[in-house]
Structure 1
Amino acid sequence: MASPCHVLGVDFGTSNSAAGYLCDGLPKLIELGPGSKTLPTTFFFDFDTRKTLTGAPANQALLDGIDGRFMRALKRVLGTTLMHEKRQILNERVTFVEIIARFLRQIKIRAETETGLAFEGVLSGRPVAFHGTDDPREAQAEADLRACYLAAGFKHVAFMLEPEAAAIASGALDQSGEVGLIVDIGGGTSDFSLFRSCSDGVKILANHGVRIGGTDFDRAISIHQVMPLLGKGTQLRKTIGSGGTPVPTAIFNDVATWEKIPFLYTPQNRRLAVEMARLAYEPEKLCRLVTVLEDELGHELAFAVESGKMTANTGSAEAQILLDPIERHLSCPLSNTDLGEILAPYSHSLRTGAQETLRLAGVDAASVERVIYVGGSSLMSMVSEAMKKEFPSADHSFTEVFTAVTDGLAIASARAQWVLSS
């Protein structure tokens, strides 16, 4: 005899994750932390206790200076060869598939504990593009994520495009005939979905995605504002002859990139930084880079940039990126004007992404009645400013930007037709 398979909707995000299911006709989100329906997609491997922490405890362990390794933005590793390479972490050699699976298993356990249900199926959100349209890594990225869910203990895995889930959550099912655009700006990707609401559901007219997200904004700000304080753009004395040579830029790009920070702290990189400081015309700056590598402060720097970004986004003309962990009283300014100038190329790319979505659907901008913003990075003012220029006559609405995708997945999960054999 067959029995229904309970299905959990899961939004595994670059920065935050959430899960939910349909209860009494309404989406109900799982409490993944004390009083919180979202869980930071972060990991901390404590070298002393040999324990793995996730979410808020992982963030706090990093901020408390506990000896260990912190990881974030692993969603951006999907589809790359890094996913299946074994790395020594604590007492074992594991792949990123196994690390992500453990995170997803915790979500599954918390959902089953809270509800008393056995979730053997999962409806997972996925971006329109993990890496880019026609990128050969696209199929592998979805296959990797599927492997993570299966390793986490789910028996059945299906995917729904995140913007489509957000459209369902926005109430589009109740607005028959409306043409709308979902603008989903997450931590690692930006997705656009043009849809028409129909009596029997949401009809997706076109999807388009670009590999731009909040972590890219952080990277650009860090490279532009912070890395010069660590020596980027300075000169080194030549070991033979007179004159100088530019400091290599690769190390600064890695320090500024969330997903690359865990791999910075190698003996080779530390030796390189020390040698550059020895040869530097401005050694005090390169000594700060040495400190970041020796004391493993890359993530503290990244969080400082993220915090400064959010303050500047409020319109503050005097926002600062505070870098005290690196050097007491060290900071750099980041005004709202600075922020706009640094992120201008991304604003242009987002407008181009929206235009491409319209082109794919054969729809003009004037036909779009509503623009719906989803994803934490959609709260950046430059995002809505770019879209308002493109769609001046549309209604612009912010839904539950952090949980709209999960709400939609929870609603859609009730329609899943999986059946388990007894």
Structure 2
Amino acid sequence: MADAVLAVDFGTSNSAAAVLEAGHVRRLAIEAEAETLPTAVFFPVGGPMQIGQAATDALIDGEEGRYMRSLKSVLGTSLMHDARLIGGKRRSLAEVIAAFLTKLRERAEAQTGQQFRRALSGRPVHFHTADPERDARAEADLRGCYAAAGFDTVDFLPEPEAAARASTGEAGEVGLIVDIGGGTSDFTLFRRSDRIEIIASHGVRLGGTDFDHAISLSHVMPEFGLGGELTRTLGEGRLPVPKAIYVDLATWAMIPFLYTAEVRRMVDDLVAHAVDRPRLARLQSVLRDELGHDVAFAVERGKIAANGGARGEIALGLVEPGLAVPVTEGTMNAALGEAREVLVRAVYETLALAQTMPGGVDHVILVGGSSLMRVVSDVMRQVCPGARVSRAEAFTAVVDGLALATGE
């Protein structure tokens, strides 16, 4: 059945696929009986590429190879087409994304017995905030990846507009989809009648990986020397420890590019001049033993544990036995203060585009894995205090809506 359309939610952190069968959405178990799979790849030394949970398991099990996550965040950037040594072969990130989408298509075909040459893909409202040229380049990049993955045709639908199609509510109400994913935050105001009428959509480049980034910089990176000082080789006085390497270490997509001889030599020099050498030595060991993703996972787990009021910790025992950093909702909120302001501003900008006052919103629907963060629901209750706030299927609302849209 060559005309079958595969709905694909290619996400920063997780991906999903679905089809429409007899008017009903069928989510495909493209990951070991699961409806979503991590958007991650692992290139083992001397072996084939692994994706999803298998890729993450390979990293956790300590297999030798290259792990990559948050691939979507590089769309529209110069990193996309730079060839680098990955898995023993020079390849670009565009080729890596295409290989991931190829695996996803093949699994979908094996599940359904259909051949998919057409795709309806979700996309954020804006891949890049306030940069139309880069935004267009990002969509072109993704379109090229789908083509390289074996799709003859790909159409795009903004993710919050897809989620609106899958939402439920009362006839006549004005709803606001708040879709907080791994890399972007998207908003769609719509009116519900016999169909979904889209009033306005807006988005910003802010998501769960940015939450992790802020928490990592505020909680973990000081334990690796961020904020410390260096002695001068010549002369008196001290210099601050450079921040750039910590920014990259706290960024999922940049971690693999820190494992180079040049970066390690630079850190060795920092340790030699550090006022607090033990902390800088931790950074040295993270790069030497390639523990950057382990640290990122620890931050993510600590964030989840502290969400909702519990006291958590960021366990860093792999870096140094017994090392752990406490994290509470209070310290996390302090770290996420700037992100909260961006979210508030983005919601008001969405309402302005729709020429709607906050009181005109009847129903706020939270979508996306990062919408589970308490800061998101707090912001929505602050901006739209008269609206009822509910959660949709956090990880599958977008792919459900995409599948429904294939039947329109």
- Alpha carbons 2:173, 2:191 under 8 Å: kept: yes
Alignment correspondent of 2:208: 214
State the TM-score, normalizing by the size of structure 1: 0.95
Q: Which moved more, 1:126-135 or 1:382-391?
A: 126-135
Q: Deviations over 1:10-46 (max 9, x none)?
A: 0000000000011232111110122211010001111
Give 4+ residue runs of structure 1 displaced > 6 Å after superposition.
Answer: none
Superposed displacement of residue 4, structure 1: 6.6
Distance 1:86 1:35 in 2: 34
Superposed displacement of residue 414, structure 1: 2.1
State the TM-score, normalizing by the size of structure 2: 0.98
Match of 1:294 among 288, 311, 332: 288
| 2:186 partner letter | D
Superposed displacement of residue 210, structure 1: 0.7
Q: Does residue 138 of the first structure (1) align with residue 132 of the second (2)?
A: no
Match of 1:281 among 275, 283, 303: 275
Distance 1:88 1:319 in 2: 37
Q: Does residue 349 of the first structure (1) align with residue 342 of the second (2)?
A: yes
Alignment correspondent of 1:419: none
Distance 2:171 2:152 in 1: 35
| 2:4 partner letter | H
- Alpha carbons 2:41, 2:55 under 8 Å: kept: yes
Distance 1:4 1:83 in 2: 30
- Alpha carbons 1:194, 1:357 under 8 Å: kept: yes
- Alpha carbons 1:126, 1:161 under 8 Å: kept: yes
Cα 1:4–1:253 change in 2 (3 A) is closer
Superposed displacement of residue 267, structure 1: 1.1
Alignment correspondent of 1:230: 224
Q: Which moved more, 1:236-245 or 1:323-332?
A: 236-245
Match of 1:119 among 116, 121, 142: 116
Alignment correspondent of 1:382: 375
- Alpha carbons 1:21, 1:414 under 8 Å: kept: no
Superposed displacement of residue 310, structure 1: 0.3
Match of 2:393 among 400, 404, 408: 400
Alignment correspondent of 1:167: 164
Question: What secondary structure does 1:34 align onto?
Answer: coil
Q: Deviations over 1:250-302 (max 9, x none)?
A: 11111111110010011111011111111111100000010011111100000
Q: Does residue 17 of the first structure (1) align with residue 11 of the second (2)?
A: no
- Alpha carbons 2:358, 2:384 under 8 Å: kept: yes
Distance 2:406 2:19 in 1: 7
Distance 1:148 1:227 in 2: 35
Distance 1:87 1:244 in 2: 36
Q: Deviations over 1:123-167 (max 9, x none)?
A: 000000101134420000000111111111111110001001000
Distance 1:278 1:194 in 2: 55
Aligned length: 408
Match of 1:197 among 154, 170, 192: 192
Distance 1:223 1:136 in 2: 30
Distance 2:384 2:406 in 1: 32
| 2:53 partner letter | A
| 1:269 partner letter | V
Percent identity of equivalent pairs: 50
Structure 1: any 5+ residue segments left out of the alignment?
416-422
Match of 2:172 among 174, 177, 180: 177
Superposed displacement of residue 247, structure 1: 0.7
- Alpha carbons 2:94, 2:145 under 8 Å: kept: yes
Alignment correspondent of 1:73: 70
Q: Does residue 334 of the first structure (1) align with residue 331 of the second (2)?
A: no
Structure 2: any 5+ residue segments left out of the alignment?
none
Question: What secondary structure does 1:333 align onto?
Answer: strand
Question: What secondary structure does 2:133 align onto?
Answer: coil
Superposed displacement of residue 368, structure 1: 0.5
Alignment correspondent of 1:420: none
| 1:24 partner letter | A
- Alpha carbons 1:50, 1:91 under 8 Å: kept: no
- Alpha carbons 2:66, 2:87 under 8 Å: kept: no
Distance 2:124 2:196 in 1: 17
| 2:203 partner letter | G
Question: What secondary structure does 1:119 align onto?
Answer: coil
Distance 2:89 2:286 in 1: 27
| 1:364 partner letter | M
Alignment correspondent of 2:29: 31
Alignment correspondent of 1:45: 43
Superposed displacement of residue 91, structure 1: 3.9
Question: What secondary structure does 1:193 align onto?
Answer: strand
**1:235-274 matches, cutoff 5 A:** 235-274=229-268
Alignment correspondent of 1:409: 402
| 1:92 partner letter | K
